[in-house]
Chains A and B, each alone.
Chain A
Amino acid sequence: MLKGSAKEFVAKYVPQGENGLEKSGITKDLTKALAELGFLNMCLPAEAGGAALDEEPYLAVLGEFSKYEPSIAMEILLVNSVAASILSKFEDGLQALAKTGAGELGFIVSPPSPYARNSFHSDHVSLDAELSVVLGNGTDYMIVSDLDGRTLYVKDEIRFKRFPRPLGFRALQWGKAEAKKSQYESVGKGMLEEAFSSGMSRAVSSIALGIAETAIDKTIEYTKVRKVFNTPLKDFGPVAGAISRMKVEAELLRSGLAAQSVDAEILRHKALDLALDASRTAVQYHGGYGYFEAFGIEKLYRDSMVMKMMFGGVDQDLLLYRKTFRSDSGII
């Protein structure tokens, strides 16, 4: 059960006005605090000590956190959607999952990409691998898919080299990883791909939508008070029009997210686009101020771009086409 709200958590743990947690990062203590309030195990199965909550409160929590600190929303997503869907399938995994949900273990995951510059060698017992991009909240274990698309749970001997300034979600740990003579378990084929694609479309939509809503709301507030040519910015037609159209889109998506009837791929597609449009527009209407960290706007643009890179490229579009035509489409 959740023992607090995202808003309370952020008020207590996230510094205001310094781009949130970007400088300090999500520390072990912070992860622990998130776990204690129930955010890290909300969707984990009961066998892993989880609360096995429905999707509805989960999406609400993700949306709420992404309004204040998208990196925390992403951490919650990685645990509840990625780790949960993969580790809950086997005994060892369940134990690791329980400890992850309790904030005792942290992990990194390599977002699946057919174009990643990864390498793998295994002798069926141990693994030598190099991963060009991983992200997560610790390096106790790693989830990765190998060149044949098998999802691997890598248990030890993980070396991690952190990127000092990745594009977005900077409070999370991003870097390169190496597994040298690591013990691993092969979980199944395509599981990580599934988790990252259709498996969490609604959750991804909720985060993207939260970012979009923040960008829109901050821009509405700013354009009410910022005067140009002695006139509030909101009084200029193109400004009011652009913001209003995005607001409408956000509201439609919000109700679509609540209604189970709206297809998850459509939601994801639209929410990712809206987050990028809304955050880019927010930077623009904040003028020079939008270009500086202190206003907390440019970060939304960076985070939205990362969302799009991770969950919304040409390969992910194929999922949408498949839904539309009920068969593989747009593959040429």
Chain B
Amino acid sequence: MDFKFSKEHEEFREKARNFGKKEFTNDRKVHFDSEEKYPEELRKLAYESGLVTYSDPWKVLIAIEELCAIDPGLGIASTIPYFGAEVLLLFGSDLLKEKYLGRINEGKAIMGLAVTEPSGGSDVAGCRTKAERKGNKYVVNGSKMFISNGNIADFLITLVRTSDADPKRHHGLSVLVIDTSSPGFKATKLTGKLGVRATTTSEIVFENVEVPEENLVGEVGKGFYYIMTFFNISRVFVAAQGVGVAQGAFNRALEIAKSRGEKFSGREDVQFILAEMATKIKAARTLTLEAASYLFNFEPNPTVTSMAKQLAGETAVYVAEKALELAGIEAVNSDLERIFRDAKILEIWEGTSEIEKLVISRNLLKGEAF
């Protein structure tokens, strides 16, 4: 067991950190947050700098963590344009990979994953958006909610219901790649988010949207399985977001403690809070790296992955709150307050903390080791 990253990865970490420090200027952090605007130029810059690469998933993980530590909103916005790509990589036909992933790999397209509906996100099998087979196409009707990149994506990996026949609800689900330029597709940007305001979130309505049959991912009826497989991948990266956000909040809290001198940092009250924050971050990072290690060696461990996602999300929220508490009212208009607002999303998206706990306990009850 080796707890060290390779020299190449450490150098990459340095590169990601330097990128974030240079490009995530204070003006940009404040502007994209307050305007709720997507930083398209940063997405391109991050791509051109080689920070988001499919050649090495460890590098993606490192980039996410480092960028989120500098600014969660900008960090996530610059690394989220490929959200859902693994579904195509793992289950898409060669035709789909060529047609869609080619442009993504070249940094020319943006994609998203549309699972959540207005009636619910936790209950994935409750999907109501219907896709009816008509000749050589599917006709899609329904709506999706809170879809990241929804209004800027070129296409969305979309979970749809293709059959009601089976009493097991999750059996009737499939995945389609839907072009956002299709007639009948409508994305409405949702504004007024608590945090991660540099990312863009939409409500999607499909009104008789026609999708060619070749845009079906994998087999009909296997959609639930594909999405769950995807979550077991994406949650590792979301855990890395959480670790990064927590680290970013901690770095600022530590700076504040040091800058206040012995009178403040010499107090055990303060020291114990710092120690607890750091210990939780270390635990969350270690668990995330373990989950990543299983995954990147093609032996994904959903239990450990869910543990990592849950712990990292909770840690991000805990550390951000404690950092603000230590900072006091001086931080009411600061980097830290933004990090606090951003952190909460990590307990909500990609499976809420409650859903992660359900996954963990169900696996344990089935006898899975952890």
Task: List the interface of chain A (C-beta within 8 A of B).
Answer: 19, 111, 113-117, 132-133, 163-168, 174, 227-230, 236, 238-239, 276, 280, 283-284, 287-288, 290-294, 298, 301-302, 305-306, 308-310, 312-315, 317, 330-332
If A280-B344, A283-B194, A331-B267 touch, whether A164 touches B328 (CB-CB below 8 Å) is: no
Task: List the interface of chain B (C-beta within 8 A of A).
Answer: 33-34, 116, 119-123, 126, 145-146, 190-195, 256, 260, 263-264, 267-270, 273, 317, 321, 324-333, 337, 340-341, 344-345, 347-349, 352-354, 357
Give Cα A302 to B337, complex, Å.
9
Across the interface, name the chain A residue whose C-beta is closest to B349: A288
Contact call B325/A117, Cβ cutoff below 8 A: no
Give Cα A331 to B269, complex, Å.
8
From A133, A293, A317, contact of B329 by CB (8 A): A133
Q: Is the interface of A mostly helix, strand, loop or mixed?
A: mixed
From B195, B264, B267, B357, contact of A332 by CB (8 A): B267
If A292-B194, A294-B192 touch, whether A229 touches B123 (CB-CB below 8 Å) is: yes
Contacts of A302 in B (CB 8 A): 194, 341
Give Cα A298 to B311, complex, Å.
22
Contacts of B146 in A (CB 8 A): 288
Contacts of A116 in B (CB 8 A): 330
What are 15 inter-chain pairs, A to B, with CB distance below 8 A?
Answer: A113-B330, A114-B263, A166-B332, A284-B352, A287-B121, A288-B145, A288-B146, A292-B193, A292-B194, A301-B344, A302-B341, A305-B321, A306-B329, A314-B267, A330-B269
Nearest-Cβ distance from residue B239 to partner chain A, whole angstroms: 18
If A284-B348, A291-B193, A293-B192 touch, whether A174 touches B333 (CB-CB below 8 Å) is: yes
Nearest-Cβ distance from residue A225 to partner chain B, whole angstroms: 12
B121, B329, B357 — which one has the most chain A CB atoms within 10 A of its CB?
B329
Contacts of B327 in A (CB 8 A): 309
Contacts of A236 in B (CB 8 A): 354
Give Cα A294 to B192, complex, Å.
7
If A113-B328, A287-B352, A309-B328 touch, whether A228 touches B321 (CB-CB below 8 Å) is: no
From B190, B273, B328, B352, contact of A115 by CB (8 A): B328
Nearest-Cβ distance from residue A243 to partner chain B, whole angstroms: 13
If A298-B194, A309-B325 touch, whether A166 touches B120 (CB-CB below 8 Å) is: no
If A227-B120, A302-B194, A332-B268 touch, whether A313 touches B326 (CB-CB below 8 Å) is: yes
Contact call A115/B345, Cβ cutoff below 8 A: no
Give Cα A230 to B119, complex, Å.
10
Nearest-Cβ distance from residue A247 to partner chain B, whole angstroms: 19
Nearest-Cβ distance from residue A318 to partner chain B, whole angstroms: 9
Contacts of A164 in B (CB 8 A): 34
Give Cα A230 to B33, complex, Å.
36
Give Cα A71 to B352, complex, Å.
31
From B120, B126, B317, B354, contact of A238 by CB (8 A): B354
Would you list the 5 A-B pairs with minimal beta carbon distance, nearest first?
A293-B192, A298-B194, A167-B337, A163-B333, A288-B146
